[in-house]
Chains A and B, each alone.
Chain A
Amino acid sequence: MNARQAEPRGRMIVTAFIALILSILPLPEWLAVARPAFLVLTVLYWSIAAPRAGGLALGFASGLTLDVFRGAVLGQHALALTTITYVAVREHQKIRSKPAFQQALIVLGALVVYEFILFAIDGWSGHPLTTPLRWVHAATGALVWPLATALLERSYSAR
């Protein structure tokens, strides 16, 4: 217990890295549309499970990484991800005590907010993408949330 009391920074980075790889893995087109934002889910998990471990910094760094990999305006994903991370860190105790189904709903909301910020910045920076398909990943992300938390939890409490 005491060993774990130290912030799981290494684990956060490793899982975020794996999530990043999952989110740039080439997939067939129909599947790629439904690909959950793994990195966002991971950052959300860590900001709820270990709110003092620097979830905001992780969120910002992951967001910048996504900006680079997605070819977006630098700072776009960073802003969106930091915003929902902040809410998650603030409300981590409430979220943590909710049953899985409600957690998934909360995550759905967070992902919609995240995507909306991206959408707004897309519009501002002159790269609008209005297809409704862009919102699909929020739903799939909420669906895989219980699974993702179970996996991440295992990685957290292992050893």
Chain B
Amino acid sequence: MAGFAAGAYRTTPGRGTSPGFRFTLYAILAVALMFMDQRRGWLAEARYFLSGAAYPLQLAVSSPTAAWRWLQSTFATRAALEAENAQLKREARDLEMRSQRYEALSRENGELRGLRDALPPVADHWMVAEVVNVELNDLRQRVLIDRGAHNGVFKHQAVMDSHGLVGQTMHVGPWSAEVILITDPEHAVPVEIERTSVRTIAVGAGPQTLALPFLPANADVKPGDLLLTSGLGGVFPQGYPVARVTEVRHDTVQPSAQIRARPLAQLDQLHEVMLVWFKADHPAAPTPASSTSVESDLPGGNPAFQPQPAPPRPQPAPVPAPGADIQATAARASAEHASVKQPAPGSPASLARSRQRSPGSSEAAVGSVGGPGSGSATGPAPAPAPATSAAREADGSSEPHASRSTAHTPETDP
């Protein structure tokens, strides 16, 4: 007898409807709900309000963690703050160095592509959202963020952090939104391998892992290859860093290679993320180096996100040659740049870090160089953004053009 007080409750028969009847009723109701929600989408409104109702409890549950974080930041020691400050300054200097030629390069790039002017960046503006520390589903890779429809968040919006792609919004409530991470088994990102510009799909494979299941066994993939969004699929524009290949196994019996990649975004310790608004009519970002060699040989996906270069140039000798050259030198160049720019802290560790960070900063660049419209970057950007991100944003809007640049600066430099 595990703890049912004997006789504490005595059934009184013959009262109310029979459980069987009520069960049938509830079951029918549940099935009807499922049908309406799944097949018809009639319950979108109801779900919207329900998630609004759930949000206070979720906030309450996450409040101890939030309080702990607040305590930590409040009682951070002077030494720690100074160290952080120094690091931020270093990063800012690094980014400014890279951004010095951004203007010229983007114009040059635009001219090369036969456009009259360089296109404005594809990212219109973005908003910082904090991750609400609450479990949505133990087995799926989902997080809740504290921005919702009231902040203009919409379904299938791209979510990033400063290192790379994070995921996209799934259910949007009034004040909160559910984000499906790129590592969720249900999520797939169309990507291209930066080195070879081979296009494929990266499927989530659990915590901090992506799989590339659709590449043939003889595909040219190496550990360390960078995966960028390919712009297909209509959610993510082209050229944003996603992951780095960590493992390539060729199994003789398998027709396809077993490839794993690790997301650049730190998905296991997400505190704050960026919701990004892209210009819907923008023909993808022209900035990334990969777009020079990739160009649109594959139509498909959302036409709005397709690169649309003016001359439909065929792709024989001239294009691949510089492209390949650029890409081959890219890694070396960025390494050199990193080492040149960071003489003071210049340890191997910091060098590696800056290299690792460069793709992330490229994405920040596209976001921050919001063109003329970047005044709006601060508009919807919420007030309670933490210090660092607020600074980042303020920076981005105050000097919209020169603010920062990108991983590909070194690539086009030589």
**Which A residues fall within an 8 A CB radius of B?**
4-5, 20-21, 23-27, 29, 32-33, 35, 48-52, 56-57, 59-60, 63-65, 68-76, 78-79, 82-83, 85-86, 89-90, 92-93, 96-100, 103-104, 121, 124-125, 127-129, 131, 133-134, 137, 145-146, 149-150, 152-153, 156-157
Contacts and interface: CB of A to CB of B under 8 A. Distances in A.
Interface string B31-43: 1111011100001
Given A21-B57, A26-B62, A56 B19 contact: yes
B34 A74 contact: yes
Interface string B258-297: 0000000000100000000000000000000000000000
Nearest to A93: B11
Given A56-B19, A71-B170, A127 B186 contact: yes
Contacts of A64: 33
A76 B34 CA distance: 7
Given A68-B51, A74-B37, A60 B26 contact: yes
Contact of A24 (B12, B36, B134, B178): B134
Identify whether the interface residues of A are mostly helix, strand, loop, or mixed.
helix
Given A25-B61, A33-B138, A75-B37, A52 B22 contact: no
Given A35-B138, A56-B23, A157 B5 contact: yes
Nearest to B65: A26
Contacts of A78: 26, 29-30, 33
B3 A153 contact: yes
B339 interface: no
B15 interface: yes
Interface of B: 1-5, 8-12, 15-16, 19-20, 22-23, 26-27, 29-34, 36-38, 43, 46-47, 50-51, 53-54, 57-58, 61-62, 65, 133-140, 142, 170-171, 178, 185-186, 206-207, 268
26 contacts: A25-B61, A26-B61, A33-B138, A35-B138, A49-B4, A52-B16, A56-B26, A60-B30, A63-B30, A64-B33, A71-B171, A71-B178, A74-B36, A75-B34, A76-B34, A78-B29, A82-B23, A82-B26, A82-B30, A83-B23, A100-B3, A103-B2, A129-B140, A129-B185, A133-B139, A146-B2
Given A78-B30, A78-B33, A150-B3, 7 more contacts: A4-B8, A35-B138, A51-B19, A71-B178, A74-B36, A89-B19, A149-B2
A39 to B, nearest CB: 13
Given A29-B207, A71-B170, A79 B3 contact: no
B4 A69 contact: no
Contact of A70 (B4, B22, B137, B207): B137
Given A82-B23, A149-B4, A52 B15 contact: yes
